[in-house]
Structure 1
Amino acid sequence: MRTALVIGTGLIGTSAALALSGRGVTVHLRDEDASRARTAAALGAGTDREPAGPVDLCVVAVPPAHVARTLAEAQAAGLARGYLDVASVKGGPRRELEGAGCELASYIGTHPMAGSERSGPLAGAADLFEGRPWVLSPTPATETGVLNLALELVALCGAVPVVMDADAHDRAVALVSHTPQLVSSMVAARLEEADETAVRLCGQGIRDVTRIAASDPAMWIDILAANPGPVADVLAELATDLDETVRALRSLQAADEDKRRAGAAGIEAVLRRGNAGRERVPGKHGAAPAPYEPVTVLISDTPGELARIFADAGAAGVNIEDVRIEHATGQQAGRITLAVLPQSAPVLAAALRERGWALRQ
């Protein structure tokens, strides 16, 4: 691949363009809002000038509802020898293309499983896709050369290709992406009218659950409108669990001991199912989840403290597998939890104590 045209310079389009440009591909940028294309170009994502002739690959990075029209126009204009989209829904756009009589041999649907609660070209990053799955959903008509172009794009972006049927993809993202967005937003909505005293008690748990609730509503309306059925199916199953959990909690309030025991059993069941589901989430580098031991340290919110604790861990020969910071309310301090392999935890704890760090259980 020597040349590419990216249509749509939001987060995903700009990030792909930055990755391609950084690896020597000549990237042309187009957006219905010309100022966004100019911004992406100024960031080093490519040029907002139109290509002189057909490019090797046209990347359509527009909302799902506009994918079919944009692709049809690009194909009619002969902009490239291969076309793909990066929309988060695959089945609908493919059927729209088929219905419009578009030429499918030069097309492949794709979806990089990466993103952010931020949007627009300024949120773009060349390393956004590093190590992330990138779904490829070829049609029966997709030519091998076009599939190879898509695989090259994925490789240049540092992602991991995953081939999936379009409808299977849509059911999967309904479960692992679209429903979590709605649930996060619904939990965060409980805070809108909450008493200020309650809000001040917010800790890391509520921050984790509501992080993606900061996402752009307009973007998510486009996504959910393209995948409503599978998302509604998952929410219906979740609603059943919620109803059962509410009944179990009400039973815990009952005077009858048998009802209280039944309520406790119901709560335990949903918590244990949650444990089992969480254990299936891939771990580091996509491998099976590994058991880590937490080492929690009191840390002040001053320049250089994070660098110092990481340097001390490195000096002890311990690799930090994961990290979490929880800020104290009303104080310039907090706790940092370093996740390490179980055999490394006592080594790290002893080394940090020796260097004057205050550890917490």
Structure 2
Amino acid sequence: MTVPSAAPTGPVEIVGTGLVGTSIALACRRAGVEVLLTDVSSEHVRTASGLGAGRPRVAADRPQLVVVAVPPDRLGEEIVSALTAGDAVVTDVGSIKSQPLAHVLTAVDEHEAARYVGSHPMAGSERSGPLAASASLFDGRPWAVVPHAAAAPSATALVRGLAELCGAVPLELEAAEHDRAVARTSHLPHLAAVLVAGRLAGVPPRDLALSGQGVRDVTRIAGSDPSLWEQIVTANAPAVLEVLGEVREQLDVLIAAVDAGERTALHDVLARGVRGTQAIPGKHGAPTRPMVSVFVAVPDHPGELARLFADAGASEVNIEDVRIDHDPGREVGQVELLVDEGRSQHLLDTLESRGWLTHR
């Protein structure tokens, strides 16, 4: 049963002022909630404070809610420390839920454990640190709320309220269910990007000159902090191994199909990929709609993107996504505008009437 949310009134303490922790702090401040900042790095606390994310915690402070936003290896000990230090509700925003929960349940008594509810906002960036933070990082994003059997309903309600206060959409899951889901939707995509990007290291520059937007799209998230991902993957090893095994089976099928020239088998693998992309929820969680890419050649100098977006806005066609591909051989970039299939021709006509070179 889903517990009604209860918005935090504060103070909210953020333990760990990196990207996610500082973004939560900024979102809380946006809502007028007092925020206390704690971090092993005094420089991070100074930076986050300077951004308006809150103030350093002092001994006399009594937070209503503690949000632990530290790397996976430190989650369990920091959650336990927060639970035993006072009477606040404690949540964490780590990407693994089973391992820290097991640590907590063996380290504290049942009354303290009742104040702990894990959570995980599904938002982030390949960038890190407080300077990468944003109050809008979680707007419209799913936020897993992961209570355990002994969690107090009021604690669950408060953590749901935090997610909503930050602009996110809370989704309640069990710890094991969460870890299986993120292995498939987050950890596997990251590892796949890493493997593809790793094949580019040491490649001659002449070959890399042929890089298109596709390789940038596939490898973008591979630029994230390796030490952080080392912790994430090892903490969720059982679920990650399960999906990696599935991929290995499909890779064997793909290799055999290419080696034997079996186009039917190859088509099946490729078509399965198409079905997978169609299964990803669309905007606002709705089913995906048929989309079309409209490509526009944009001169690479100031003001051109602004002019393009103004002209696209004049068409009254909603732009669902934007990608930019820079042509290394010309002083021009290519902007891809993703729009509803039924509105693409109108956008093309409008842009061409205003002098843009376009194609679909």
In which range does the TM-score fall when normalised by the shorter chain?
A: over 0.9
Equivalent in the alignment of 1:241: 250
Equivalent in the alignment of 1:12: 20
Equivalent in the alignment of 1:230: 239
Is this contact kept in 2: 1:104–1:139, CA < 8 A?
no
Is this contact kept in 1: 2:13–2:57, CA < 8 A?
no
Give, in angstroms, the shift of residue 71 of structure 1.
1.5
Is this contact kept in 2: 1:65–1:93, CA < 8 A?
no
Give, in angstroms, the shift of residue 294 of structure 1.
2.2
Equivalent in the alignment of 2:160: 151
Are 2:83 and 1:84 equivalent residues in the alignment?
no
Encode CA deviations 1:301-334: one digit per residue, 9 max, x unaligned: 1111111112112222222122222211232212
Aligned amino acid, residue 350 of structure 1: D
Query: What's the secondary structure of 2:271's corresponding residue?
Result: helix
341-350 or 178-187, which deviates more: 341-350
User: Structure 1 residue aligned with 2:169, among 154, 160, 169?
Assistant: 160
Is this contact kept in 2: 1:135–1:163, CA < 8 A?
yes
User: Structure 2 residue aligned with 1:73, among 72, 81, 91?
Assistant: 81
Query: What's the secondary structure of 2:298's corresponding residue?
Result: strand
Query: What's the secondary structure of 2:117's corresponding residue?
Result: strand
Equivalent in the alignment of 1:48: 56
The unaligned stretches of length 5 or more in structure 2 are 1-8
Encode CA deviations 1:29-57: one digit per residue, 9 max, x unaligned: 00112211111111111001325232110
Is this contact kept in 1: 2:17–2:38, CA < 8 A?
yes
The unaligned stretches of length 5 or more in structure 1 are 253-262
After TM superposition, which residue ranges in structure 1, 4 or more long, deviate above 6 angstroms?
A: none
Query: What's the secondary structure of 1:111's corresponding residue?
Result: strand
Equivalent in the alignment of 1:114: 123
> What is the number of equivalent residue pairs in this alignment?
350
Are 2:220 and 1:184 equivalent residues in the alignment?
no
Equivalent in the alignment of 1:255: none
Is this contact kept in 2: 1:28–1:51, CA < 8 A?
no
Q: Distance in 2 between matches of 1:49 and 1:234?
A: 42
Give the TM-score normalised by structure 1: 0.94
Is this contact kept in 2: 1:2–1:24, CA < 8 A?
no
Equivalent in the alignment of 2:229: 220
Q: Distance in 2 between matches of 1:175 and 1:321?
A: 25
Equivalent in the alignment of 1:299: 298
Equivalent in the alignment of 1:97: 104
Query: What's the secondary structure of 2:144's corresponding residue?
Result: strand
Are 2:299 and 1:290 equivalent residues in the alignment?
no
Query: What's the secondary structure of 1:279's corresponding residue?
Result: helix
Equivalent in the alignment of 1:60: 68
Give the TM-score normalised by structure 2: 0.94
66-75 or 229-238, which deviates more: 66-75
Is this contact kept in 2: 1:21–1:45, CA < 8 A?
yes
Q: Distance in 1 between matches of 2:336 and 2:77?
A: 49
Is this contact kept in 2: 1:83–1:107, CA < 8 A?
yes
Equivalent in the alignment of 1:274: 273
User: Structure 2 residue aligned with 1:196, among 188, 194, 205?
Assistant: 205
Q: Which has the higher contact order (CA 8 A, sep 6+)?
A: 2
Q: Distance in 2 between matches of 1:233 and 1:342?
A: 37
155-164 or 305-314, which deviates more: 305-314
Aligned amino acid, residue 64 of structure 1: P
Give, in angstroms, the shift of residue 216 of structure 1.
0.4
Aligned amino acid, residue 253 of structure 2: E
Computed over aligned residues only, the root mean square deviation of the Cα atoms, in angstroms, reads 1.3
Equivalent in the alignment of 1:250: 259
Is this contact kept in 2: 1:136–1:161, CA < 8 A?
yes
Is this contact kept in 2: 1:283–1:289, CA < 8 A?
yes
Q: Aligned residues: percent identity?
A: 45
